[in-house]
């Protein structure tokens, strides 16, 4: 009734693979040759081809097992992928971890940044550093890595930049383990090793602290993570922490603030820390598009963590509309707007640098609210 990732990876073409994870999860990676499906669609209209067994894939291998059992009861040869896509991810990273494979992978990734993806990744990276004065002589930057595609790319870009930068600065590659399970931590460690990134890991118990929080656990988790990163970076002698937010994150944050927070604000390219004196937060991937990050990931056959917290350690997120986040709704809204205006993202981005305060009913600065009436009769 179950098939292992190791067995499946030997020849995926021997099976009909159906991925029942939601659209958001599939954007982070899929099994080559798999088809997107839902539990309802696969059970109401199973494949007619009975010459190849069916493999059902979910996030962690729990929901898929029930579907495979039902398909078997309908006369089909069906399996559930044991451990789900997470197991497949671990298997693929493990295959890249032999000495020869890791060396070849590292060279391919480095060359892709230098040549094929230079204009899409390295150029906007260095442009943000220059335009916003993110890194200066004498800086010691903590490159904060979560194990996802964005922060791993950021680490590779810094790694490449260090070879020829005329600005004299130092870098620490920092990983905070908020309570990953053993398998997820291994994926992160293996990816860093395969790509030649010398990470430093420190452990916290953040996942345990926020697991039972009912209201906004993700927000609390992010705030706690930020505090720990500042603290550990400062212990290492760093004066800046670098986060992997990209252009799309900036655009989505603008819209989310307006539509769900009733405010106009943006994700700044750099900020002074309010709680850690002398520390700054920088976002050097400010001009990099998410589609270009995905293209780089897929071109190099890389496999990264999506979300490895306790809330996604089960299959409760498989095709679950209740987990349809506000950010995903915003992504879909932008996608629709682009059909009539392909430059909608560019316009949103530029709008925040072109604010006419004279036409604002009210605004806040320094925590103080102001009204247009204050100067209306002057």
Give the mean pLDDT of 240-262.
95
Residue 295, Cβ density class (10 Å: 0-12 exposed, 13-18 middle, ≥19 buried): middle
Give the mean pLDDT of 235-247.
96
Q: Which of 243, 267, 268, 244 is nearest to 254 (CA)?
A: 267
pLDDT of 167 above 80: yes
pLDDT of 321 above 70: no
Eight-class DSSP state of 181: -
Whole-number pLDDT of residue 201: 93
Q: What is the C-alpha to C-alpha distance for residues 359 and 337, in angstroms, rounded to an integer?
A: 25
pLDDT of 177 above 90: no
Q: Which of 197, 169, 118 is nearest to 282 (CA)?
A: 169
Residue 107, Cβ density class (10 Å: 0-12 exposed, 13-18 middle, ≥19 buried): exposed
Domains along the chain?
Answer: 2-92 (3.40.250.10), 97-308 (3.40.50.620), 321-374 (no CATH)
* pLDDT > 70 in the chain, percent: 92
pLDDT of 317 above 50: no
* Residue 51: other Cβ atoms inside 10 A: 7
Q: What is the C-alpha to C-alpha distance for residues 48 and 139, in angstroms, rounded to an integer?
A: 62
| Higher pLDDT among residues 94 and 119, named by residue | 119
Give the mean pLDDT of 108-115.
97
16: which 2 tokens? 């009909």
Whole-number pLDDT of residue 204: 82
> Comparing 166-170, 290-294, 317-321, which segment has the lowest mean pLDDT?
317-321
Q: Are 198 and 168 in contact (CB under 8 A)?
A: no
Mean pLDDT of the chain: 89
Contacts of 206 (CB under 8 A, 6+ apart): 178, 179, 221, 224, 225, 228
Q: What is the C-alpha to C-alpha distance for residues 124 and 129, in angstroms, rounded to an integer?
A: 9
Q: What is the C-alpha to C-alpha distance for residues 378 and 373, in angstroms, rounded to an integer?
A: 9
* Residue 200: other Cβ atoms inside 10 A: 13
- pTM value is 0.85
Task: Specify the length of the chain in residues.
Answer: 378
13: which 2 tokens? 């073409």
Residue 66, Cβ density class (10 Å: 0-12 exposed, 13-18 middle, ≥19 buried): middle
pLDDT digits (tens, 9 = 90+) for 50-107: 899 999 999 888 899 999 999 999 999 999 999 999 899 989 898 888 888 999 999 9
pLDDT of 316 above 70: no
* Residue 310: other Cβ atoms inside 10 A: 17
Torsional sign, CA 111, 114, 116, 118:
positive
Whole-number pLDDT of residue 320: 41
For 221, 235, 262, the CA distances from 201, given in Å and listed in that order, are: 18, 13, 38
For 28, 148, 279, 334, the CA distances from 304, given in Å and listed in that order, are: 8, 5, 29, 25
């Amino acid at each position: 009734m179950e098939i292992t990732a190791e067995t499946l990876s030997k020849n995926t073409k021997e099976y009909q693979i159906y991925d029942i994870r939601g659209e958001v999860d599939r954007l982070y990676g899929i099994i080559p040759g798999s088809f997107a499906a839902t539990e309802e669609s696969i059970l109401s209209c199973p494949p007619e081809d009975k010459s190849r067994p069916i493999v059902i894939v979910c996030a962690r291998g729990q929901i898929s097992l029930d579907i495979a059992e039902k398909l078997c009861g309908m006369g089909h040869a069906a399996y559930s992928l044991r451990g789900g896509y997470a197991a497949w991810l671990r298997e693929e990273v493990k295959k890249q971890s032999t000495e020869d494979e890791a060396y070849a992978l590292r060279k391919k990734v480095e060359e892709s940044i230098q040549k094929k993806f230079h204009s899409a990744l390295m150029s906007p990276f260095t442009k943000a550093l220059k335009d916003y004065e993110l890194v200066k002589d004498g800086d010691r930057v903590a490159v904060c890595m979560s194990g996802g595609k964005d922060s791993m790319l950021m680490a590779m870009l810094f790694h490449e930049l260090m070879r020829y930068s005329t600005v004299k600065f130092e870098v620490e590659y920092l990983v905070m383990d908020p309570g990953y399970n053993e398998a997820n931590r291994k994926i992160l460690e293996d990816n860093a090793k395969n790509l030649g990134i010398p990470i430093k890991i420190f452990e916290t118990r953040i996942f345990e602290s926020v697991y039972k929080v009912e209201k906004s656990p993700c927000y609390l988790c992010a705030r706690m993570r930020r505090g720990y990163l500042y603290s550990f970076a400062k212990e290492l002698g760093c004066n800046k922490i670098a986060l992997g937010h990209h252009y799309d994150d900036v655009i989505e944050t603008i819209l989310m603030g307006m539509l769900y927070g009733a405010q106009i604000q943006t994700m700044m390219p750099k900020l002074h820390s309010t709680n850690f004196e002398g520390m700054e937060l920088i976002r050097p991937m400010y001009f990099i598009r998410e589609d270009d990050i995905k293209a780089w990931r897929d071109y190099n056959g890389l496999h990264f963590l999506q979300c490895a917290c306790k809330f996604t350690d089960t299959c409760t997120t498989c095709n679950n509309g209740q987990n349809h986040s506000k950010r995903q709704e915003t992504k879909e809204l932008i996608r629709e707007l682009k059909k009539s205006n392909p430059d909608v993202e560019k316009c949103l981005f530029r709008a925040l640098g072109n604010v006419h305060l004279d036409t604002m009913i009210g605004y806040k600065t320094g925590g103080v609210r102001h009204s247009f009436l204050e100067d209306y009769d002057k």
